[in-house]
């Protein structure tokens, strides 16, 4: 973490963005171009920790620069390989590295420069997202070693939801818990920021965004600002997901603790690794596989899809009531973009709101989210602030 500011006028302007998932690492290299970030190349390391792991890199025009099978033991292992491949292809070292961080706890709610103090605050916030923050910290530490001459920035998925009113952010618990940071934070904020920017002047006053993928959430926006969202204190809440339970009656947890003597660690695994689609189907969390199984008459897969689509539809309906109507519904994320069947099921019964998944020119749109580009935008702005 360099102490001296880097002058973008005298240093290579490339920004490397690292977007880590549970078993993947997406990355993008960006350069400044007029009023936005221009993609130089992008790629991903998939299947981290599995024998079928892979590393793919593509140029901005889609040309495949690298496609190889690798056994990548961890995200840090994947990052080391990414750094080597970037060097092999002759790319200059980045002037800045942007890190997507899912949760920064109650004290880190703004995109900012990574400093030893920020690193310490992230470590102190581990209990807010024990599955997400430790690997994020390991990746940050590895990146600062590999790219020690770059400035490093942390961009938080929770930052977009700082505009939530108290009626949405506060949980019905004794006040001392809110004072300790036990509130609704909301997630997928970088995705929602990206979508709002893409729509620009086309973004109406009342919009609902549905980021649907392995992790899924729904967000209500009024005048481009988040006013409610389905995920809460952690990314486990809201609609059921690939392996996460989504919302539960708290009594379920009490029941499991009493009858099966499950401790916090076992509950964490159950709710985040073994539930959602996987819980219905004996372990299958991939939507494409579920749709194939459903089409072949598999009732477990059909139930998983139906529960998911129904939960999303219920949130859309609730947000219509909150906003006083919906002018635009946007689907994004891997499932939101690529599953016409899920979009159809979500919109089924919402015709009274004017929402029809089969009418692309109407009030329903499908957009590709650009989280990595959004992170690059934030990093560029912060870099320029530090040089001014």
- The CB-side HSE value for 235 (13 A sphere, CA atoms) comes to 29
Task: Examine the domain organization and report whether 136 and 175 are in the same domain.
Answer: no
Binding residue per annotation — 363? no
Task: Examine the domain organization and report whether 330 and 240 are in the same domain.
Answer: yes
What per-residue confidence (pLDDT) applies to 137?
Answer: 93
CATH number for the domain harbouring residue 73? 3.30.420.40
pLDDT at 133 over 80: yes
187 located within any domain: yes
Task: Examine the domain organization and report whether 134 and 196 are in the same domain.
Answer: no
Task: Examine the domain organization and report whether 209 and 230 are in the same domain.
Answer: yes
pLDDT mean across residues, the chain:
92
Contact status, residue 45 vs residue 54, Cβ threshold 8 Å = yes
Task: Examine the domain organization and report whether 141 and 200 are in the same domain.
Answer: no
Structural domain boundaries enclosing 73: 15-156+372-387
Task: Examine the domain organization and report whether 318 and 378 are in the same domain.
Answer: no
Counting the structural domains of the chain, the total is 2
* Residues annotated as catalytic (active site), given as ranges: 157
Q: What is the pLDDT of residues 318-339, one digit of tens each?
A: 999 999 999 999 999 999 999 9
Task: Examine the domain organization and report whether 187 and 99 are in the same domain.
Answer: no
Task: Examine the domain organization and report whether 232 and 351 are in the same domain.
Answer: yes
Binding residue per annotation — 375? no
95 located within any domain: yes
Q: What is the pLDDT of residues 356-379, one digit of tens each?
A: 988 766 899 999 999 999 999 999
Contacts of 324 (CB under 8 A, 6+ apart): 206
Task: Examine the domain organization and report whether 190 and 112 are in the same domain.
Answer: no
148 located within any domain: yes
Q: What is the band of 231 on the pLDDT scale with cuts at 50, 70, 90?
A: very high
Binding residue per annotation — 211? yes
Q: What is the pLDDT of residues 218-227, one digit of tens each?
A: 999 999 999 9
Binding residue per annotation — 325? no
- Judged by DSSP in three states, 105 sits in coil
Task: Examine the domain organization and report whether 271 and 340 are in the same domain.
Answer: yes
pLDDT at 5 over 50: no
Binding residue per annotation — 26? yes
Binding residue per annotation — 215? yes
Task: Examine the domain organization and report whether 184 and 325 are in the same domain.
Answer: yes
144 located within any domain: yes
Binding residue per annotation — 334? yes
Instruction: Give kind and range of the element (H or E) at residue 66.
Output: strand 64-69
CA of 68: how far to CAs of 25, 87, 160, 247, in Å? 15, 17, 36, 39
From 136, 138, 182, select the one nearest 155 (Cα to Cα): 136
From 376, 147, 129, 369, select the one nearest 271 (Cα to Cα): 129
6 located within any domain: no
362 located within any domain: no
CA of 234: how far to CAs of 116, 130, 193, in Å? 25, 10, 19
66 located within any domain: yes
Whether the pTM exceeds 0.85: the reply is yes
320 located within any domain: yes
Task: Examine the domain organization and report whether 233 and 312 are in the same domain.
Answer: yes
């Amino acid at each position: 973490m360099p102490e001296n500011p880097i002058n973008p006028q005298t240093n290579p302007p490339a920004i490397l963005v690292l977007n880590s998932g549970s078993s993947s690492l997406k990355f993008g290299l960006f350069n400044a171009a007029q009023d936005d970030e221009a993609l130089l190349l992008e790629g991903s390391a998939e299947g981290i920790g599995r024998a079928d792991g892979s590393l793919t890199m593509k140029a901005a025009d889609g040309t495949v620069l690298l496609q190889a099978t690798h056994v990548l033991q961890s995200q840090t292992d994947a990052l080391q390989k990414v750094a080597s491949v970037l060097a092999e292809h002759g790319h200059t070292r980045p002037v800045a590295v942007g890190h997507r961080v899912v949760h920064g706890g109650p004290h880190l709610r703004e995109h900012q420069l990574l400093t030893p103090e920020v690193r310490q605050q992230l470590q102190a916030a581990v209990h807010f997202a024990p599955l997400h923050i430790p690997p994020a910290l390991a990746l940050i530490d590895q990146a600062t070693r590999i790219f020690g001459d770059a400035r490093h920035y942390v961009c938080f998925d929770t930052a977009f939801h700082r505009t939530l009113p108290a009626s949405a952010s506060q949980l019905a618990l004794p006040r001392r818990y809110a004072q300790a940071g036990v509130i609704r934070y909301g997630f997928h904020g970088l995705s929602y920021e990206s979508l709002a920017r893409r729509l620009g002047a086309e973004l109406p006053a009342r919009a609902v965004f549905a980021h649907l993928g392995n992790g899924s959430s729904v967000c209500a926006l009024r005048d481009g600002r988040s006013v409610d969202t389905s995920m809460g204190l952690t990314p486990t809440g809201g609609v059921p997901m690939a392996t996460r339970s989504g919302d539960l009656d708290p009594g379920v947890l009490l029941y499991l603790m009493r009858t099966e003597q499950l401790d916090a660690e076992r509950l964490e695994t159950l709710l985040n690794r073994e539930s959602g689609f996987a819980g219905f189907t004996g372990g299958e969390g991939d939507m494409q596989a579920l749709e194939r199984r459903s089409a072949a008459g598999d009732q477990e897969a059909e139930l998983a899809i139906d529960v998911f689509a129904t939960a999303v539809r219920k949130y859309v309906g609730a947000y219509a009531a909150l906003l006083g109507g919906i002018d635009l519904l946007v689907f994004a994320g891997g499932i939101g973009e690529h599953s016409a069947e899920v979009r159809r099921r979500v919109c089924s019964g919402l015709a009274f709101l004017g929402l029809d998944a089969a009418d692309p020119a109407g009030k329903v749109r499908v957009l590709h989210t650009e989280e990595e580009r959004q992170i690059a935008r934030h990093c560029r702005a912060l870099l320029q602030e530090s040089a001014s």
